């Protein structure tokens, strides 16, 4: 199973990098931007075919290491690797 984990800053947490990217986009002429928030993407190939078990395992990874829940939130997408 392949998992894609998207980690972003919680709303209300200042994102100076996102702000700098927005300013740079503005300078390139993209003036229609309300805001930019930067995040992280993890792609994890798991040796497990069962969706439930995979999801449980990935959630555990998020809680224990991948995500700092003081400042970040996450979402998980699962793809059955054999179909790709």
Partner 1 sequence: MKSALIIFPGSNRDRDMIKAVKKISKKEPILVWHKETNLPDVDVIIIPGGFSYGDYLRSGAIAARSPIMKQIKQAAIKGVRILGVCNGFQILTEAGLLPGALMRNKSLHFVCKTVKLEVINNKSDFTAGYKKKQIINCPVAHHDGNFFADEKTLSEIEANEQVAFRYANGTNPNGSLNNIAGIFNKEKNVLGMMPHPENLIEKAHGGTDGRTLFESLLGVK
Binding site for partner 1 (CB under 8 A): 12-14, 16-17, 20, 64-66, 68, 70-71
With respect to partner 1, which residue has the nearer C-beta, 21 or 46? 21
**In the complex, least distance from residue 5 CB atom to partner 1, rounded to whole angstroms:** 12
**In the complex, least distance from residue 84 CB atom to partner 1, rounded to whole angstroms:** 26
Alpha-carbon distance of 45 to 3, in angstroms, equals 6
Instruction: Collect all residues with Cβ–Cβ distance below 8 Å to 58 and sequence separation of at least 6.
Output: 3, 5, 44, 46, 76, 78
With respect to partner 1, which residue has the nearer C-beta, 40 or 51? 40
């Amino acid at each position: 199973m392949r998992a894609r984990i998207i980690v972003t800053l919680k709303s209300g947490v200042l994102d100076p990098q996102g702000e700098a990217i927005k300013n740079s986009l503005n300078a390139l002429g993209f003036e229609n931007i309300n805001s930019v928030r930067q995040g992280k993407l993890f792609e994890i190939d798991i040796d497990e075919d069962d969706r439930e078990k995979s999801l449980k395992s990935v959630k555990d990874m998020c809680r224990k290491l991948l995500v700092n829940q003081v400042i970040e939130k996450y979402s998980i997408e699962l793809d059955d690797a054999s179909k790709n």
